[in-house]
Amino acid sequence: MAAPSNKDTAEDFAVFASAAAYALDALSAVENSDFERPTPCADWNVRDIALHLADVSDAILDYAQSGTLTAPTPRPEDTPEPTVLAQERITAVIETLTNTTTSLVWTVHFPAAARAAANEFAAHGWDINSALGTGQPVPEATATALLAFIDGCLGEEERRSSFAPAIPLASTACPSDRFLAYLGRQPS
């Protein structure tokens, strides 16, 4: 992946690329027998997370191209090969963020699209890793950057609809654990 040239945009891209690789690695470890495993996301199993990653990837693609963010329409639970689908859709986001020309819409919306995708990919990559018992943390630099991106962004309304309350952790906890706790997940 070639990073964009603007320094801030290049930093956003690096965080995105790391989070995307982390999610793709987690998805590549999933076997068909893992689909029903519970995840740290209440009421979601590994299949649900994989389908959500595909859905969110499509929403990020739409946002990156149009500047309008809309909630993704969830795919049916019986969608075949959910991990393959999620990998294909994440790869499409990577290709779009890598190859898009610098139109005004793209220049304005790239940082938000990259940050939203990175947050989703890192959080749900960890959910899958947790369900599989791999213990693979979110990469330190990625978690640190994501904390800086999202700190203070989740109000009570957003938390009620999409996240559990933040879990207090010591400031000495590793960046992956602090990122996950901020999103309401209990780190390992």
Query: Would you give the end-to-end CA distance of the chain in angstroms?
Result: 31
Q: Tell me which residue of 73, 113, 84 sits closest to 96, measured CA to CA.
A: 113
Between 63 and 33, residue with greater pLDDT = 33
Average confidence score pLDDT of the chain: 86
Please report, for residues 51, 71, 85, 115, the alpha-carbon distance to residue 77 in angstroms, rounded to integers and kept in the order given: 8, 17, 13, 27
Query: What is the architecture of the domain spanning 7-142?
Result: Up-down Bundle (1.20)
Which of 29-33, 65-69, 114-118 is predicted least confidently?
65-69
pTM: 0.89
What is the residue extent of each domain of the chain?
7-142
The yes-or-no verdict on residue 130 having pLDDT over 60 is yes
The yes-or-no verdict on residue 24 having pLDDT over 90 is yes
The yes-or-no verdict on residue 91 having pLDDT over 60 is yes
Which of 4-8, 132-136, 164-168, 174-178 is predicted least confidently?
4-8
What pLDDT is recorded for position 102?
46
